[in-house]
């Protein structure tokens, strides 16, 4: 990152909570209905297809980047540089 912030304590817990929140958001997006031309769509397959065509790739990319960054910084250990 741009700043050398140690990933430990409250900051580490906050980062993990953020990754878990957005991962849950991705999973829930496959089941949350949406409105199309004033009609509420609740059919599972239509919801999944719409999400996969719209926000799935950006959402998954950002969560994976965050997760890889988190794992790589915590695997090195507190106070050490990778």
Name the residue among 59, 77, 73 with its Cα closest to residue 21: 59
pLDDT in tens, 42-75: 999 999 999 999 999 999 999 999 999 888 888 7
Residue 66 to residue 47: CA distance in whole angstroms: 26
| 52 vs 12, higher pLDDT | 52
Q: How many CA atoms lie within 13 A of 80 on its CB side?
A: 8
- Whole-model pTM? 0.77
Radius of gyration of the chain (CA): 17
């Amino acid at each position: 990152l741009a700043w050398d912030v140690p990933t430990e304590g409250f900051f580490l817990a906050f980062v993990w909570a953020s990754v878990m929140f957005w991962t849950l958001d991705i999973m829930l997006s496959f089941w949350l209905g949406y409105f199309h031309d004033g009609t509420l769509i609740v059919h599972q397959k239509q919801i999944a297809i719409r999400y996969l065509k719209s926000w799935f790739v950006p959402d998954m990319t950002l969560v994976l980047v965050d997760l890889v960054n988190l794992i790589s910084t915590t695997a090195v250990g507190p106070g050490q540089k990778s």
